[in-house]
């Protein structure tokens, strides 16, 4: 019986942890049923390297933005710059952007400015916004809501591990929640309950590799192949077979990341 196909909607293949190993990483992912992956550029000056990985491997797509923890260190992105990058056939999302007050609360103002720029780029391109949120739930819910009222856009709350209130706010705007290895950690019962309460057609899976490896690899380097371990937990949370959960989350990815879904090597 063929392996169920799933998508790693968020990884970082340009990080040094994977240097010189991309072919093997992609091959192991395929063996695990991870048919596609989106590698995320977190500093726009590194976009050429991230793009090159996507261009070299058919299953790999990419997105680019300025990570909130880097917002104060990097030049502020412009909407035009992000829109120009989106012309590439394998560029499928805007970000990751967002708010992180855990380590970088002192740059809250520039993070918020950067976030609004990325939201406008998502509006103009029609590509999904990829959000990182940590210890900033109130501001995140407020800004996402204000901006959505000013003009609709699509969005995924990547590696979602925030409050039920932020989940409810995001889902209320029509956004998606992405399940990472955190949801598979034994102590993440409350987070699993948030995902259990979310509509099944609004859930994605991801690794955020090289970080946050799910059991049985916890504490080791994560990689796209391990998406399968998180997806198995997701299936249990929703009382589904792995095959059905894989099919549903893949359909969700294709709906949100429509540009990736329509891409073909001949394009």
Which whole number is the average pLDDT over 211-232?
Answer: 96
* 217 among annotated binding-site residues: no
* 254 among annotated binding-site residues: no
Label residue 48 by pLDDT band (50, 70, 90).
very high
Query: Distance (Å, rounded) from C-alpha 218 to C-alpha 10?
Result: 18
pLDDT score of 2 more than 80 = no
Radius of gyration of the chain (CA): 17
The conformation of residue 220, written as its DSSP 8-state character, comes to: S
Which whole number is the average pLDDT over 52-69?
Answer: 98
Residue 10: inside a domain: yes
pLDDT of residue 3: 84
Residue 1: inside a domain: no
* 135 among annotated binding-site residues: no
Contact assessment for residue 170 and residue 157, using Cβ atoms and an 8 Å cutoff: yes
Contact assessment for residue 211 and residue 222, using Cβ atoms and an 8 Å cutoff: yes
Residue 226: inside a domain: yes
pLDDT of residue 1: 64
Please report, for the domain that includes residue 52, its CATH number.
3.20.20.140
Residue 110: inside a domain: yes
Residue 182: inside a domain: yes
Query: Distance (Å, rounded) from C-alpha 31 to C-alpha 184?
Result: 21
| pLDDT above 70 coverage of the chain, percent | 99
Residue 267: inside a domain: no
Query: Distance (Å, rounded) from C-alpha 76 to C-alpha 121?
Result: 13
Q: Label residues 78-95 b or e (16+ Cβ within 10 Å = b).
A: ebebbbebbebebbbbbb
Residue 35: inside a domain: yes
Residue 172: inside a domain: yes
Give residue 77's domain range.
6-262
* 118 among annotated binding-site residues: no
Structural domains counted in the chain: 1
pLDDT score of 267 more than 60 = no
Query: Distance (Å, rounded) from C-alpha 18 to C-alpha 114?
Result: 28
* 102 among annotated binding-site residues: no
Tens of pLDDT, residues 229-246? 999 999 999 999 999 999
Label residue 265 by pLDDT band (50, 70, 90).
confident
């Amino acid at each position: 019986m063929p392996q169920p196909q799933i998508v790693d909607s968020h990884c970082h293949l340009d990080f040094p942890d994977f240097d010189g190993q991309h072919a093997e990483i992609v091959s192991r992912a395929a063996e695990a049923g991870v048919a596609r992956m989106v590698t995320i550029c977190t500093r726009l000056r590194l976009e050429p390297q991230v793009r090159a990985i996507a261009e070299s491997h058919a299953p790999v797509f990419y997105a680019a933005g300025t990570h909130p923890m880097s917002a104060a260190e990097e030049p502020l992105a412009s909407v035009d710059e992000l829109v120009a990058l989106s012309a590439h056939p394998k560029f499928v999302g805007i970000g990751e952007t967002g708010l992180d007050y855990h380590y970088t609360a002192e740059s809250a103002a520039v993070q918020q400015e950067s976030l609004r720029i990325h939201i406008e780029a998502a509006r103009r391109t029609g590509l999904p916004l990829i959000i990182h949120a940590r210890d900033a739930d109130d501001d995140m819910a407020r800004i996402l809501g204000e901006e959505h009222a000013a003009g609709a856009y699509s969005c995924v709350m990547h590696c979602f591990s925030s409050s039920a209130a932020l989940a409810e706010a995001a889902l209320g705007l029509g956004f998606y929640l992405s399940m990472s290895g955190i949801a598979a950690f034994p102590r993440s019962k409350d987070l699993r309950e948030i995902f259990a309460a979310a509509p099944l057609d609004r859930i994605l899976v991801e690794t955020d590799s090289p970080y946050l490896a799910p059991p049985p690899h916890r504490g080791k380097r994560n990689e796209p192949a391990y998406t399968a371990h998180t997806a198995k937990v997701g299936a249990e949370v929703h009382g589904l077979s792995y095959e059905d959960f894989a099919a549903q989350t893949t359909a969700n990815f294709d709906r949100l990341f429509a540009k990736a879904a329509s891409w073909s090597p001949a394009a």
